[in-house]
Amino acid sequence: MEDTFANRLKEILKIRNMKQVELCEKTKLSSGLINKYLKGKAFARQDKLSILAEALDTNEVWLMGYNVPMDKNYGKTKIAEIDVINLSTNEIIQKIPYSYRTDIAEDDPNNFFAIYASDSSMAPLLDVGDIAIIKKYTEFSNGKTYLLKIKNGNPIIRKIIKSDDDKVELQAMNMWNFPTQYDFIFEDLEILGEVIKIENNSAFK
């Protein structure tokens, strides 16, 4: 159930241990206007709402009365840079922009890196020269696509299918040139990360 702007303003003032006069000083809004807000006789326009949320270090949408976290970063996105790694040398060859939600812990840019595809095994989705963004491996989910090594071999990207008898098969999208590989066990594989996004450059070649 949604709350009111007046109630949220009272609540956050209490949480921040801030008096009305301090809020006026921080926001440069008049005491009369703040008093109207607190009594529910006026609702802050967008420009005033932003000023209040900034002064009170809270989320504008929460302050409006909606059922969202009060964290000011909730629902916002930022741009950071992640490393593009040469898997042959393990060197960083460049950095690329990465957009992430600040309120989702798993979206932390430190959890991700990127590589250039070295073959067409996952074409047409991921072709030579395309960038794959990789989430560092935390846990396995059957049927998802991973960057992996087979018994310390070269890194490849494949969908992993694990059967009930614990046998594993590795599927490429380009099955004509890269047939499915069968009869592995999970211990044969070293998973480096999950492929979560493709920057498709090959489509413009």
Whether residues 54 and 82 share a domain: the answer is no
Number of domains in the chain: 2
pLDDT, one tens digit per residue, over 92-108 is 999 999 988 887 888 99
d(CA 54, CA 186): 50
- For residue 64, the one-letter residue type is M
* 158 closest CA partner among 140, 139, 173: 173
pTM of the model: 0.70
Residues of the chain with pLDDT under 50: 204-205
- For residue 71, being part of any structural domain is answered with no
Report d(CA 95, CA 104) in Å as an integer. 22
Residues 44 and 136 in one domain: no
- Tell me what pLDDT residue 151 has: 87
Residue 178: inside a domain, yes or no? yes
Residue 107 and residue 180 share a domain: yes
Q: Residue 189 belongs to what domain range?
A: 77-204
Give the DSSP H or E segment for 21.
helix 20-27
Per-residue pLDDT tens digits for 29-52: 999 999 999 999 999 999 999 999
Q: Do 85 and 121 belong to one domain?
A: yes
Does some domain include residue 142? yes
pLDDT at 204: 47
